[in-house]
Amino acid sequence: MPLKWVFHGGVSAPHRKNTAESETSVLDIPEKVVIPMVQHIGAPCTPTVKPGDTVKVGQKIGDSEAYVSAPIHSSVSGTVTRVEPMLFAGGNLVMSVEIKTDGKQEVYEGISPPEIKNREDFLKAVRSSGLVGLGGAGFPTHVKLNPPKDKVIDCLIVNGAECEPYITSDYREMLENPDGIIEGIKLVLDYLSIPKAIMGIEDNKPKAYKLLKEKAQNDNRISVQSLRSRYPQGAEKTLVYALTGRKIPSGKLPADVGCVVLNVNTVAFIASYVKTGMPLVQRRVTVDGPVVNQPKNVLAPIGTSLQTLFDFCGGFKSTPYKVLMGGPMMGIAQYSLETSVIKNTNAILAFDKKEGDLPSEWPCIRCGRCVEACPMNLLPLEINRLVLANKIDELERYHILDCIECGSCSYSCPSKRHLVQSIRIGKDAVRRLKVNRN
């Protein structure tokens, strides 16, 4: 059945899903891993191990008492060699734990399936698992599943859109573990008393749509919908609108319109954890880009270096000009290949100069294409003008904090204005302004 609701704006970016039919390859255990204590939105973790300690797979090595946080576990067995600030994916130094692996991959003795009898047990188990949103945002899942008591959730939205070019890690989960996805959805519905779930899958993934629809047919609480392939279909606000017709107001969250949104990998991991008790210690990563010799989907321990992943994929055809963690629309450029895979890393991409170079800006011709492309109904050209003029106090009137940084404005701009880059600068300035006011 065709969907009634179509979100405003967006762009038709080329899909380039080169690894869509690439079954997941398992990486050999690397000689060492570097596990940052910042792998989620919220408070960073404090290391619970020190140099010289021996650790095993699944053992907790970092945690925080803050509510918005999630514990971090060792992905390997071996010896802790360093606990100190190390280079992070964002280009800054972050407290990290380096572990020299012993190749044994011994599982920590405390690993066992959690005992779950009620909602509170379920939320506690999700936190203990270290789960954060695996679609890229990295929000602690136990927090998302526990909205304020005045928010009544009546719909679980399951995100199978995967709208960014190149990335296929969600697609492979849908093909390789459909039963796990359905099982995870049922667990969330049962323990949180949510009456229904809607899974959205873009129409460029017909095999996944057909398979999940078949798997869900025996549970009338779960429906699977085909979405039009248009970037950024997978963003929370656009996805909720496309599947339910509900509009999330400015500054609000899906819970404000009765929804909670989880990625397909996130719900599948919940099912896995409830069955095994093994925390989140590995991640499927799409390794692709024009200069990668053998693009693949790779299952890698958290903390694996980008260099190790690229080596596993046959190295480079030529020296990469730019490496991104994430997709080409929202990914973060990497300073070094020594940075690590973290929980929400769904792709690493390597580009040559032709595709990776940032084009020169030309003056705005006020054509309005950025306005047409913005899925949040913002005015990117005006926000850009205010940021460049350093008129920070005026940016809030233009709802700059509603920007999801999808990059649709920059992609559609014929003058190649660096719109999303300036918006990021403006958002940071507005946040600092708010802190100073308080």
Any known ligand binding at 45?
A: no
Phi, psi of 171 (to 5 degrees): -60, -45
Extract the tokens encoding 256. 């404000």
Residues β-bridged to residue 158: 199, 262
Interatomic CA distance for residues 284 and 345, integer angstroms: 8
SS3 157: strand
Interatomic CA distance for residues 253 and 153, integer angstroms: 12
Asked if 141 contacts 126 with a C-beta cutoff of 8 angstroms, the reply is yes
Any known ligand binding at 163?
A: no
Closest to 340 measured CA to CA, from 72, 159, 77, 160: 72
Closest to 20 measured CA to CA, from 130, 149, 162: 162
Any known ligand binding at 313?
A: no
Any known ligand binding at 367?
A: yes
Q: Which residues of 343-373 are buried (b: 16+ CB within 10 A; e: fewer)?
A: bbbbbbbbbbeeebeeeeeeebeeeebbbeb
Closest to 368 measured CA to CA, from 5, 9, 6, 67: 9
Query: Among all chains, which residue has been given the structure tokens 């909720």?
Result: 240
H/E stretch holding 32 reads strand 32-36
Any known ligand binding at 374?
A: yes
Interatomic CA distance for residues 56 and 246, integer angstroms: 46
Which strands make up the sheet holding 332-333, listed edge to edge? 25-26, 296-301, 282-288, 347-351, 322-325, 332-333
Interatomic CA distance for residues 100 and 55, integer angstroms: 10
H/E stretch holding 159 reads strand 155-160
Any known ligand binding at 155?
A: no
Q: Which residues line the annotated binding site for [4Fe-4S] cluster?
A: 364, 367, 370, 374, 403, 406, 409, 413
Q: Which residues line the annotated binding site?
A: 364, 367, 370, 374, 403, 406, 409, 413
